[in-house]
Amino acid sequence: MPQAKDVLEKIDEERLDQFQRRTLDFAAKFSKVDSKGAEKVMDELVKQFELGSDEAAQIVNCMPESIEEIRVFLAGGRKIVETSRLESLLAFLNKYRKSE
């Protein structure tokens, strides 16, 4: 989502169609990290935390704020993740979270 927002912002606003304007508005309201930060977070989630790219993308889009929220994104793999690992993942996300 942050990367889509970045791409749409580079287009002259007069050239955006209705769908693109709505997408830009949604991305602006709900992006929780900037596009450069999103790339860094994605890379680290895949490398350091050994997540799949799909899981990492969903986590970056939503930037969960609790361990329980992170568990929702990792439940699809049906793997048990240690609480200490989830705590370190949450601390990592907190470093990149956009202040509101």
Q: Could you tell me if 12 and 41 lie in one domain?
A: no
Per-residue model confidence as pLDDT tens digits over 7-27: 999 998 889 999 999 999 999
- Checking 81-90 for CB contacts under 8 A at 24+ apart, the result is 85/49, 89/45, 89/49, 90/64, 90/65, 90/66
Tally of structural domains, the chain: 2
For residue 76, give its domain range: 35-96
Residues 88, 39 within the same domain = yes
Buried b (16+ CB within 10 A) or exposed e, 24-36: beebeeebbbebe
Cβ-based neighbours of 44, under 8 Å, separated by 6 or more: 92
Residues 70 and 91 in one domain: yes
Same domain, yes or no, for 51 and 89? Answer: yes
Question: What single letter denotes the amino acid at residue 1?
Answer: M
CA distance between the termini of the chain: 17
Answer yes or no: do 27 and 39 share one domain.
no
pLDDT at 100: 47
Span 54-81, pLDDT tens digits? 999 999 999 999 999 998 888 776 667 7
